[in-house]
Amino acid sequence: MQNQNGLQAAAMTKNCHNDYKMKFSVDEEYPDLSQHNNHMAKVLTKEIYGKLRGKSTPSGFTLDDVIQTGVDNPGHPFIMTVGCVAGDEESYEVFKDLLDPIISDRHGGYKPTDKHKTDLNFENLKGGDDLDPNYVLSSRVRTGRSIKGFTLPPHNSRGERRGIEKLSIEALSSLDGEFKGKYYPLNGMTDAEQEQLIADHFLFDKPVSPLLTCSGMARDWPDGRGIWHNDNKTFLVWVNEEDHLRVISMQKGGNMKEVFRRFCVGLQKIEEIFKKHNHGFMWNEHLGYILTCPSNLGTGLRGGVHVKLPKLSTHPKFEEILTRLRLQKRGTDRTRTHTIVALLILNVLKRNIFVSDGQMRLRVALKPFIQLFPLVRHLVDGKKYQLT
């Protein structure tokens, strides 16, 4: 019986389909990346492919699983996507010959010998509580977390995904005070309820992005997915979307400092609760917090504001202005007339460069927003703006 169990365990770690592909040569299996613009395609040579294609992680995640989303989606000519995902915590070690150069390329030269440090003590943050309320509709900070003991969403089985959901419900239900709230499973919502939550920017969208659909993260949708939020809808946790958990602090107005305080306190509480359930978060001293997409490694921190720009979005140099300020527009209103207020999510580019000081990065992130508002006033007042 013991031998039988050992054979079963060995079979669990063996990817038979990957073994079958070994009958074909490297030349026959190497993907055509000639039209691609992503970090994976930039790094993956035929030599690296040949070296890694026969390997798999203990859970059976393979090189082709890592790169498939980038193979299927060449990317945009002017926007370089990452083009790969991790299927478990071990992916970053087993496939480091590919992933380390991708991480270095994506994160400004971060070396395999570098050690990640972060400080999420909100009391160290200076300023950020007075972004102009005439333009800022809402502010948010988010991150992702992966729960130890499970594979990542591209590789989850149904039972595993449901186990993550069950554990998350048990853990989050113990939050109290300003964080007290309730869990809402996706498969318990009507389409209208889902659409309303998406429109209100509380809920993740349906799985239409290539990252989700081609990497396997959209399998069995919406089974095992849901959203937890506090009673005030200012602290949210998405369960089983791109990562096991997406932790979000948000509120109306421009008090980013308060948003960041709630984010730090709530995140710390969640981590302590999961540790009590014998499931801490994936972390190592080199990469920081382990997440599905290499772009989110480290702190995974992203800050954004939802702003109304009545005139700036139609300015002929709008795109150039954003580029100069290292800002990125998201969720733009489809209309292009001067009378329509354009709504944008502005995120700082290269926001996740293995933040060694969460507060410093957030302070830097706030500067472009502060620079943006005098520019808007000039345009609203009908004055010319000199781009320097």
What's the Cα-to-Cα distance from 46 to each of 22, 34, 36, 69, 167, rounded to whole Å?
15, 12, 15, 18, 42
The reply to whether 376 sits in an annotated binding site is no
The reply to whether 146 sits in an annotated binding site is no
Coil, strand or helix at 211: helix
The reply to whether 161 sits in an annotated binding site is no
The reply to whether 361 sits in an annotated binding site is no
The reply to whether 382 sits in an annotated binding site is no
C-alpha to C-alpha distance for 208 and 73, rounded to whole angstroms: 13
The reply to whether 307 sits in an annotated binding site is no
Q: Is 190 exposed, middle or buried (0-12, 13-18, 19+ CB in 10 A)?
A: exposed
Q: Are strands 245-252 and 288-289 parallel, antiparallel or unpaired?
A: unpaired
Q: What angle do CA 371, 377, 382 make, to 5 degrees?
A: 135
What are the E-state strand segments in the chain?
136-145, 181-185, 226-230, 235-239, 245-252, 283-284, 288-289, 302-309, 327-330, 342-348
The reply to whether 174 sits in an annotated binding site is no
Residues 6+ apart with CB under 8 A from 7: none
Q: Is 195 exposed, middle or buried (0-12, 13-18, 19+ CB in 10 A)?
A: middle
Give the DSSP per-residue string, 131-170: --TTTEEEEEEEEEE-BTTS--TTT--HHHHHHHHHHHHH
The reply to whether 259 sits in an annotated binding site is no
Least Cα distance to 250 among 237, 239, 236, 264 occurs for 236
Least Cα distance to 154 among 240, 248, 281 occurs for 240
The reply to whether 253 sits in an annotated binding site is no
C-alpha to C-alpha distance for 67 and 83, rounded to whole angstroms: 6
Contact in structure between 263 and 308 (CB atoms under 8 Å): no
The reply to whether 140 sits in an annotated binding site is yes
The reply to whether 201 sits in an annotated binding site is yes
The reply to whether 249 sits in an annotated binding site is no
Binding residues: 138-142, 201, 246, 302-306
What are the binding residues for ATP? 138-142, 201, 246, 302-306
